[in-house]
A = this chain, B = another copy of it.
Amino acid sequence: MTTTLSRAEIDALDKRHRTNFINGLTGFKGVTLLGTRSESGCSNLAIMSSAFHVGAAPPLIGLLLRPHTVPRHSLENLSARGEYTLNGVDRTMVERAHRSSARWPREVSEFDACGFTEEHTAAVDAPYVAESPIAIALTLAERHTLLNETVLIVGEVREVRLREDVRAEDGQLDLGALGLVVAVGLDEYHDTRRLTRLPYARVDDG
């Protein structure tokens, strides 16, 4: 049976219920760890489910940040330095990655607090998560403030690190083999099972 919720009914939900409900509406979300460094040099990690593809040439990735909730340190670091990493989260990393959402003090590195290992390359001045099976280094390219004061960051890809056996001839990544998870709302995690890969759709098919 289908039920319909009007906007008035949605607005009347209690705050926690509405937050969980609205967070789930757009379906499953990819999960990444945002790596940054503060001006004083402290490493920071924050779990995010708002990274999305913006374009391939130049390679651009979007990320939505909510300044009034948790990733405030991340946004400050990212704004100050303009460099960051996005690190994929696999099955083995879920519990540790979720811990990064606690309100750790500014001087605590979530790498230490959550049990991850920092890795650095010359590409950007921000830490990679060594445990992550796929990770991207980015520089801040553009920033938009949306009507509810959330901040959209668009970053340009500088470098990609990944397991070398997961890129097909045509560039497709085997995200299942990487064990990447997806999230529902703020706290539920799933892994995936491949159903199908479909050919390019044409009007004269079938």
Interface residues of A (CB under 8 A from B): 1-7, 10-11, 13, 15-32, 49-62, 64, 66, 86, 88, 91, 94-95, 98-105, 113, 121, 123, 134, 136, 141-142, 144, 146-148, 150, 152, 154, 157-165, 167-173, 175-176, 180-182, 184-185, 187-203, 205-206
Instruction: Write the chain B residue with the least CB distance to A199.
Output: B187
| B residues less than 8 Å from A203 (CB atoms) | 102-105, 113
> Do A147 and B154 touch (CB < 8 A)?
yes
| B residues less than 8 Å from A142 (CB atoms) | 146-147
> Do A53 and B50 touch (CB < 8 A)?
yes
Contact (A88, B27) CB under 8 Å given A5-B159, A161-B4 = yes
User: Which of B136, B148, B171, B188 is within 8 Å of A13, CB to CB?
Assistant: B171
A202, B113: Cα distance in complex, Å: 11
User: Which of B187, B193, B200 is within 8 Å of A197, CB to CB?
Assistant: B187
Q: 5 additional contacts, CB 8 Å, given A27-B134, A29-B52, A189-B195? A: A23-B56, A26-B53, A141-B147, A175-B184, A187-B198
A195, B28: Cα distance in complex, Å: 13
The copy count of this chain in the complex is: 2
Contact (A194, B187) CB under 8 Å given A32-B26, A147-B142 = no
A31, B147: Cα distance in complex, Å: 24
> Do A52 and B64 touch (CB < 8 A)?
yes
User: Which of B25, B146, B193 is within 8 Å of A160, CB to CB?
Assistant: B25
| B residues less than 8 Å from A6 (CB atoms) | 123, 158-159
A16, B123: Cα distance in complex, Å: 25
